A = this chain, B = another copy of it.
Amino acid sequence: MLYLDDIEVGATRSFGRYEVTREEVLEFARKYDPQPFHLSDEAAADTHFGRLAASGWHTCAMTMAMFVEEMKAHPQASLGAAGVDELRWLKPVYPGDVLRAESEVLEVRPSRSKPHMGSVRNRMTAYNQHDEPVLSFVALALMRRRPEQP
């Protein structure tokens, strides 16, 4: 189990593989983001998307799915996240794309008021199969500190 004390600034990881299907793009969009360009090729044709593109929130969700899978392989004493900064949808994500992700630790900060925990600023970037970044954000993750030995 990785604790806050084990996290090093500058550490990077590359992980995940997520096949984006038309069915899932439509299912997410119908439920959470039914703007025309997320619902049909026809409606997307005269926008900068050009054809059916995934909701940006769907891309966030798919990236999170890859990250949780990665955390299962390398368990962390996660306490969830306080938020996200500088979230940017850099390129459209299309059905047929295959996503992967990279993370980089930007900052590790033990809490002053809560000695058992601290925060990690983690830059997350998702790429498509052309190695183009499609999504970037800085997660403000909360983690437990390593318990003191008895």
Contact = CB atoms under 8 A, between A and B. Distances in A.
Interface string A28-56: 10011111010000000001110000011
Copies of the chain in the assembly: 2
Given A57-B60, A82-B89, A83-B88, 8 more contacts: A31-B61, A33-B61, A34-B65, A34-B68, A48-B80, A56-B83, A57-B57, A57-B64
Contact of A65 (B32, B85, B89): B32
Pairs of residues from A and B, 7 with the lowest C-beta to C-beta distance, nearest first: A83-B88, A32-B61, A84-B87, A32-B65, A83-B87, A57-B61, A33-B64
Interface residues of A, number: 33
A48 B85 CA distance: 22
A62 interface: yes
A79 interface: yes
